[in-house]
Amino acid sequence: MKLRLGRSTRQGQKGVDSRIVRDLIILSFERAITDAYLIGGDEDLREGVSEAQERGVRVTLVTIDSPAGQNLSPTLAMEADDVITLDREFVEPHVRRRESQMVAATEPSDPHDPVALGQAYGVTHLEQIGTVGRAALLAGKPVIPHEVDRVLLSLARDTLGVAEVSDDFRKEMRRGFWLAMGDSSSDTTGSSNT
């Protein structure tokens, strides 16, 4: 089993399809697989599916039922040896995006106030990491770990409905995060993870 994530951008994951195609071609060329179960539906995967099949690999697409029916390319489905469609209600209890686990459960008093937004996220994050995690965070201050800061900025973009958050908003939001961690010092210059 191989999970391909690619690189994260504001538009989502990039480079995933090309890595999956590469894996399919290499594994089939090396005769390392006889069957491939591919979770995905992008047209870009069709070339890899075709190449693998030419080397005798049976490719089964696994998709998740979509109300709009738009998560599977028709030409990719025709190319595959078989298509398995999983019911959305079956899948949802077992998987979720990591960011959705970490968004602020505490509603900020004013979502457009960067300090309040940072504090709301910080309170939720603190509940998840506990006192040991808090101590580790404070020991690393002023730098917020990248994966935590990434979710914090994603929350800000989603809340504000913008593609980019201003530097001043970021700085104040990070200050709010540190306030939620119980650190009242005003130095937040290093918490900017750019």
14 CB-near residues (< 8 Å, 6+ apart): 6, 7, 8
Mean pLDDT over residues 130-159, rounded?
A: 85
Residue 2 lies inside a defined structural domain of this protein: no
Cα(16)–Cα(44) distance, integer angstroms: 10
* Percent of the chain residues topping a pLDDT of 70: 76
One domain, residues 162 and 116: yes
Tokens describing residue 14: 């990039």
Window from 14-28, 92-106, 109-123, 169-183 with minimum mean pLDDT = 92-106
One domain, residues 173 and 135: yes
Point out the domain boundary residue: 69, 91, 113: 91
Please tell me the total number of residues recorded for the chain in this structure.
194
Cα(24)–Cα(36) distance, integer angstroms: 8
Q: Which of 83, 47, 36 is nearest to 64 (CA)?
A: 83
Q: Do residues 104 and 120 touch, judged by C-beta distance below 8 A?
A: yes
Range of the domain at 82: 7-91
Is residue 73 pLDDT above 90, yes or no? Answer: no
Is residue 74 pLDDT above 80, yes or no? Answer: yes
Mean pLDDT over residues 156-161, rounded?
A: 83
Question: Which pLDDT belongs to residue 68?
Answer: 55
| The model scores a pTM over 0.85 | no
Q: How far is CA 166 from the centre of its chain?
A: 22
Evaluate the omega torsion of the peptide bond into residue 114 and state whether it is cis, within 30 degrees of 0: no
Question: Which pLDDT belongs to residue 85?
Answer: 87
Cα(21)–Cα(34) distance, integer angstroms: 16
One domain, residues 173 and 111: yes
Residue 155 lies inside a defined structural domain of this protein: yes
The shares of helix, strand and coil residues in the chain, as percent rounded to the nearest 5, are: 50, 10, 35
Point out the domain boundary residue: 91, 111, 134: 91
One domain, residues 52 and 120: no
Whole-Å CA distances, 40 to 29, 67, 114: 21, 16, 37
DSSP 82: E
Question: Which pLDDT belongs to residue 90?
Answer: 82
CATH number of the domain enclosing 29: 3.40.50
Is residue 62 pLDDT above 50, yes or no? Answer: yes
Give the residue, 17 or 77, on which the prediction is more confident: 77
Mean pLDDT over residues 161-176, rounded?
A: 90
Point out the domain boundary residue: 59, 91, 123: 91
Cα(46)–Cα(41) distance, integer angstroms: 9
Residue 1 lies inside a defined structural domain of this protein: no
Question: Which pLDDT belongs to residue 99?
Answer: 45
Is residue 17 pLDDT above 90, yes or no? Answer: no
